[in-house]
Amino acid sequence: KQAPAVPKPAAVVAKAEPAAKPVPAAPKAAPVAARAEPAARPVPVAKAAPPAAPAVPVQSFKQVNTQQRSENLYREAILLVRQGQVVVAHERLRQALDAYPANQGARHMLAGLLMDSGRYQEAESLLQAGFKLGPANPDLPMLLARAQVAGGKNTEALATLEQGLSNAGDAADYHAFYAALLQKQGRHDQAVNHYITALRSDPMQPN
């Protein structure tokens, strides 16, 4: 028998190239950190300014100026009287009162000068205006009463002193003057009481 044909060996497969080694994957680059912004410079804290001085009200400032001007005119008038320039002194005193009506020194001095020259009605009007501004000053009603007495107005003078009596305290001159007017009115009991008050305050007062 014929031997069976031996099959030919399969073609030798070409020797395969060794499989390429896998190229290692490049390592992933680390994420680039965002560029840090430079740190902001600290904002310098402004130093607290010292508290501002309270603003002086314009009206108050103006009043101080007018009051000082009035006082300067009053002092000038005193010097003028000492120099015998009474007429000019009158003018300065009126200017002083125009600038600052509450200048009692200027008002008293001008009233005294007016009475010295026999101008009692002018002195009374001047003092009446001042009495409305500051009746608490005991010298003012006394001067006004003297001007009224000099003008023959004893009743008005007594009323003026009665109005200022609450602010006179124990002033000896005030009570003695008031007592004298009470005596002229025949109110002797009241006059005695005020003479006693005056003597208690000033035992050496001759009147």
Cα separation, 179 vs 198, whole angstroms: 9
Two tokens at 164?
């200022």
Enumerate residues 6+ apart whose C-beta is below 8 A from 101.
107, 129, 130, 133
Terminal-to-terminal C-alpha distance of the chain: 193
Q: How does DSSP assign 72-89, residue by residue?
A: HHHHHHHHHHHTT-HHHH
Q: Where on the phi/psi map is residue 60: left (φ > 0), alpha (ψ -120 to 50), or beta?
A: alpha
Residue type, 10: A
Quick one: pLDDT at residue 15? 46
DSSP 8-state class, residue 186: T
Enumerate residues 6+ apart whose C-beta is below 8 A from 162.
178
Quick one: pLDDT at residue 12? 43
How do residues 71-106 score in pLDDT, each as one tens digit? 999 999 999 999 999 999 999 999 999 999 999 999
Helix, coil or strand: residue 17:
coil
What angle in degrees, to the nearest 10, is found between the helix axes of 188-201 and 172-184? 160
Cα separation, 184 vs 156, whole angstroms: 13
How do residues 21-42 score in pLDDT, each as one tens digit? 544 554 454 444 445 455 555 5
Q: How does DSSP assign 185-203, residue by residue?
A: TT-HHHHHHHHHHHHHH-T
pTM given for the model: 0.64
Residue 10 has pLDDT above 50, yes or no: no
Quick one: pLDDT at residue 16? 44
Do the Cβ atoms of 90 and 113 come closer than 8 Å?
A: yes
Banded model confidence at residue 59, pLDDT cuts 50, 70, 90: low
